[in-house]
Amino acid sequence: MIGYTISKDKNLLQFDKIHKTIKTSYWGGYRTEKQTKTTIENTICFGVYNNNMEQVGFARVLTDQVVFAYIMDVIIFDGYQGKGLGKWLVAHILEDDSLKNVLTISLKTKDAHKLYEKYGFKSVGNSELWMAIDKAKLD
C-alpha cells in the first residue's frame, strides 16, 4: 500500500501505543503492561507504519508454522481506520512465509466477520466469535 510498510521487526513496535489500544479494546481490557509485553515477546508481530515510521497498526500470531496459527490483536489505530490498512495487514499476514503453508489458521472476532470471510475464514461450529481457515485433510 503506497505510503505504508509492514514489518516484523519488534524493535520498531511502539509499545505504549499498542498497549493503550489493547486496553481500550473489548478483548484486552484486563491486560497489564507486563502481560502485553509477554504476548509480544512470545509471538510473531506485524507492525504497520507510515512514511515517518509512526506505527499505525498492529497484529500478532502464535503458530507452530505447520499445523496451527492463531491471529490476535489485529488493530489499526484511530485516525488510520477506513483506509484499507486492516485488509492489507490481514492479507500480508496470510501470505507471510511463517503462515502461508499452515493448515489451520484461527482467530476470534466479535464484529469483523465480513472482513475475515473475504480471506476464506468461516465460523467454527456455532461459535459467534471463533473463525478459521482449515486446510487440514482428515482421513
**3-state SS class at 49:** strand
The pLDDT assigned to 78 comes to 93
Question: What digits encode the pLDDT tens for the residues 4-27?
Answer: 999 999 999 999 999 999 999 988
Lateral strand order in the sheet of 130-134:
4-7, 44-50, 55-63, 68-76, 104-108, 130-134, 122-123
Does the pLDDT of residue 137 top 90, yes or no?
Answer: no
Q: What is the mean pLDDT of the chain?
A: 95
Question: What digits encode the pLDDT tens for the residues 86-105?
Answer: 999 999 999 999 998 999 99
Strands 104-108 and 68-76: parallel
Per-residue pLDDT band at 123 (split at 50, 70, 90): very high
**3-state SS class at 89:** helix
Distance between CA atoms of residues 115 and 18, nearest Å: 21
The pLDDT assigned to 1 comes to 79
Per-residue pLDDT band at 139 (split at 50, 70, 90): low
Q: Which CATH class is domain 4-98?
A: alpha beta
The pLDDT assigned to 136 comes to 83
The pLDDT assigned to 88 comes to 97
Question: What digits encode the pLDDT tens for the residues 22-65?
Answer: 999 988 889 999 999 999 999 999 999 999 999 999 999 999 99
Domain ranges of the chain: 4-98
Question: What digits encode the pLDDT tens for the residues 108-121?
Answer: 999 999 999 999 99
Q: For a pLDDT cut of 70, what percent of the chain falls above it?
A: 99
Measured in degrees and rounded to the nearest 5, phi and psi for residue 81 equal: -75, 155
On the 0-12 / 13-18 / 19+ scale of CB atoms within 10 A, 75 is: buried
- Cβ-Cβ contacts under 8 Å for 101 (sequence gap 6 or more): 65, 66
pTM comes to: 0.93
Number of H helices, E strands in the chain: 4, 7
